[in-house]
Chains A and B, each alone.
Chain A
Amino acid sequence: DAGVTQSPTHLIKTRGQQVTLRCSPKSGHDTVSWYQQALGQGPQFIFQYYEEEERQRGNFPDRFSGHQFPNYSSELNVNALLLGDSALYLCASSRGPWGEAFFGQGTRLTVV
């Protein structure tokens, strides 16, 4: 079992560009949650996908959007990147929205 895998591991983008991050959940998991972790801070909830729908959303602007595919994998898209979007983006999967969360290694996004 590969666990939760995220790609890419590191990414550098320029202000104003768009980025797509990917997450494959642990085998048997159907729910994917995305978190943003700024340097020195705890992760902040972005949104959660279950049954291919955004089930819940945190306090993030509409520039942050996502998608879940029939195989339960998920993408996080960020448009019009700002310097402040530089962070570690973590994906967590679970069996159902209330299950124990298993995390990926994260994608380190740097916006210059």
Chain B
Amino acid sequence: KNEVEQSPQNLTAQEGEFITINCSYSVGISALHWLQQHPGGGIVSLFMLSSGKKKHGRLIATINIQEKHSSLHITASHPRDSAVYICAVSGGGGSQGNLIFGKGTKLSVKP
């Protein structure tokens, strides 16, 4: 079983829809990261959080440490949000600072 599990694996939405991507992890962590990867490879860090909730524009990330679960929400989705969203954790499983990644959620937002 992977240490970081994401769901769904693929997601198609209509423009304007509210989107939720989930991440569960099985190791102790110091922080959880949400990352965005567009075709072509580059990864952009969206959030790094260790408790509670963070908001940036239309993006909201929450984490429940007790349940070892995090969600990434996108409000009023737009085609430019189409990308792979990756959950990663640090400080778990003896990682001591490196990241353990989930396999990603491929989001496609249709106009």
Is A43 touching B99 in the complex (CB atoms < 8 A)?
yes
- B side interface size, CB within 8 A: 26
**Chain A contact residues: over half helix, strand or loop, or mixed?**
strand
- Segment at the interface with B among A64-72, A77-85, A90-98: A90-98
Q: Interface residue count for A (Cβ, 8 Å)?
A: 28
Q: Is the CB of B41 within 8 A of A98?
A: no
User: A103 with B43: in contact, given A42-B104, A43-B101, A98-B30 (CB under 8 Å)?
Assistant: yes
Centre residue among A42, A98, A103 by max chain B CB count within 10 A: A42
- Interchain CB contact under 8 A, B101 and A42: yes
Interface residues in A1-59 by Cβ distance below 8 A to B read 31, 33, 35, 37, 41-45, 48, 55-56, 58
Chain A residues proximal to chain B, CB less than 8 Å = 31, 33, 35, 37, 41-45, 48, 55-56, 58, 88, 90, 92, 94, 96-98, 100-106, 108
Closest 3 CB pairs of A and B: A97-B97, A42-B101, A103-B43
